[in-house]
Amino acid sequence: MNPQSKKKRQQEAPKPSLGQRLSFSLWPLVSCFFSVLFYIFHTQLHTVLPGVELAILHNIAAITIFYSFSWLMARSFRAFILLQRTGTGTGRRKAPKLLSELVSVTLFTIATMLAIGVLIGKSSGGVLASSGLIIAILGFAIRNVLADVLSGIALGLEAPFRIGDWVAFDAATTGRVIEIGWRTTRVLTADDIYMILPNSQISRQMLTNYSAPRKHYQATIQIVLGHDVPVTQAKTLLKEAAKLAQNNPGMVETQKSIVRATLYGAEGISYTIRYWVSNFAFDMECRDAMLAAIDETLRKHEVSRRGGQVKLVLGQDKVVRGE
């Protein structure tokens, strides 16, 4: 897939209309309004419905209030997150849905416990204490699932990466994050391979985010030339090659490439070419363009490369990728 089409697809995200944003909290507000009215006038309603006990009407009204206000607060928080994700255009990193889902689950869990307390005539603390043994047994039975969920919560709160970021989780897993869930994180690699990683596994590994704190980064190529090539001539040729590769899509045109002699060894003189890549999606294309330009320039001037190896690493602001 073309990196430009990938980047364009990343940036194209449908924005909710004003009506959708308003309706997001409209129905919860209506529910809260009528639940409060129901609670205030449930005694008067009892005169209309004498067959229904007053205590039952009171419990229904209280439970309706619990869930209505939980719904309102969950929707309000979700609308705030949605506004944060779409409010500043395409340059903003997307926040995962996990945090809003966590808040929703917490609010409805509290509402459920309060409702159970009302129905059985106990406080929520008493309900929780009486079900402690069941919670302990279930927690032991699904401890692996809980580890993934808790790791997902930690990832959602800490946000070391976000949807759309290019991330390396280990030496074999590098790709763009497309979804962050409760138990797993889903990644699409540069080869369009769809990978599902458990959150507990991610939390135990060192990861590298190529999209933060900025999307562009400085990549590096190291090459060894023979002692018979003067340093001044070698640097001139490598600068010519870097300038030739600068026209490749994905390169940062405003940043000039830098060539430095870094080591005078037995096999030859090592030179480092530093160039800027606009986005990790263009990493392979930019590296290919730079190597092709170096090869073309050296062959054009009949300069042989000695040492038999070209080292490929990233800049100091990124983790080393390999040699």
Mean pLDDT of the chain: 77
156-191: per-residue pLDDT in tens? 777 888 888 999 887 778 899 998 887 889 999 888
242 — alpha (psi -120 to 50), left (phi > 0) or beta? alpha
SS3 193: coil
Position 237 pLDDT exceeds 90: yes
The model's confidence at residue 238, banded by pLDDT at 50, 70 and 90, is very high
CB 86 within 8 A of CB 18: no
CA 12 → CA 8, 164, 200, 201, 224, distances in Å? 6, 11, 31, 31, 43
- For 217-232, give one letter per residue: b (16+ CB within 10 A) or e: bbbbbbbbbeeebeee
Segment 300-305 long-range contacts (CB within 8 Å, at least 24 positions apart): 301/237, 303/225, 303/229, 303/234, 303/237, 304/226, 305/223, 305/224, 305/225, 305/226
Share of the chain above pLDDT 70, in %: 74
Phi, psi of 235 (to 5 degrees): -65, -35
The whole-number pLDDT of residue 131 equals 57
Task: Please name the amino acid found at residue 283.
Answer: D
Q: Report how far residue 277's alpha carbon sits from residue 285's, in angstroms, rounded to the nearest whole number.
A: 10
DSSP state of 310: -
Task: Please name the amino acid found at residue 23.
Answer: S
Using only C-alpha atoms, the chain has a radius of gyration, in whole angstroms, of 30
What end-to-end distance do the CA atoms of the chain give, in Å?
Answer: 26
Mean pLDDT for 272-291 is 90
The whole-number pLDDT of residue 125 equals 56
- Give just the sign of the alpha carbon dihedral 170, 172, 177, 180: negative
The whole-number pLDDT of residue 88 equals 46
99-115: per-residue pLDDT in tens? 677 778 888 888 888 88
Phi, psi of 204 (to 5 degrees): -95, -5
Mean pLDDT for 216-233 is 89
The whole-number pLDDT of residue 126 equals 57
SS3 289: helix
Q: Report how far residue 126's alpha carbon sits from residue 113's, in angstroms, rounded to the nearest whole number.
A: 10
- How many Cβ atoms are within 10 Å of 89's Cβ, its own excluded? 8
CB 30 within 8 A of CB 69: no
Phi, psi of 196 (to 5 degrees): -120, 120
Q: Report how far residue 89's alpha carbon sits from residue 72's, in angstroms, rounded to the nearest whole number.
A: 27
Give the rounded distance of the alpha carbon of 66 from its chain centre.
33
Position 273 pLDDT exceeds 90: yes
DSSP state of 305: B
Position 116 pLDDT exceeds 50: yes
Give the rounded distance of the alpha carbon of 11 from its chain centre.
14
**The CA-based dihedral angle spanning residues 238, 242, 245, 247, taken in that order and rounded to the nearest 10 degrees:** -140
Q: Which two tokens stand for residue 67?
A: 């869930």
11-45: per-residue pLDDT in tens? 444 555 555 555 666 888 888 899 999 888 888 88
Mean pLDDT for 114-140 is 65
196-205: per-residue pLDDT in tens? 999 888 888 8
Q: Report how far residue 144's alpha carbon sits from residue 160's, in angstroms, rounded to the nearest whole number.
A: 22
138-158: per-residue pLDDT in tens? 666 667 777 887 888 788 777
Peptide bond between residue 3 and the one before it cis (omega within 30 degrees of 0): no
The whole-number pLDDT of residue 11 equals 44
Position 307 pLDDT exceeds 90: no
The whole-number pLDDT of residue 7 equals 46
